[in-house]
Amino acid sequence: MRPLAPLSLQDKQHVLLTITDVSTPGANSGCMQEQEWLRAHGQEYSGQWVALNGEELLSHGSDARGVRDAARAKGVQTPLMVHIPDEANSPSAFWV
């Protein structure tokens, strides 16, 4: 990062800059709610993609892009996308 205009500092003066990473609500919140939802409902969507935001199922289907687009149409830009495999206990997930 750099300032918009040069800072006029005397010799041997310093600037202390603190950057704090503040996560937005719902964004990568440890995905505990999503994990709970998957344990409770995942088997109902075997072989499908699901888009989750916390405990909310936003969309599901066989086409990942369509599922993502449907979730985004509901206002969630980075849903957790999970493909529920036909065999239990091996889902793959990511935020898009």
Categorize the per-residue pLDDT at 86 as very low, low, confident or very high, splitting at 50, 70 and 90. confident
pTM of this prediction?
0.62
* Rounded-to-integer distance, Cα 6 and Cα 80, Å: 42
- Map out the domains of the chain as residue ranges: 45-95
pLDDT tens sequence across 9-45? 676 676 666 666 655 555 555 678 999 999 999 999 9
- pLDDT at 31 (0 to 100): 79
The answer to whether 49 and 60 are in contact (CB under 8 A) is: yes
* Rounded-to-integer distance, Cα 85 and Cα 26, Å: 25
Question: In the block, which residue shows the tokens 């990942």?
Answer: 64
Strand arrangement of the beta sheet that strand 92-95 belongs to: 56-61, 49-53, 80-83, 92-95
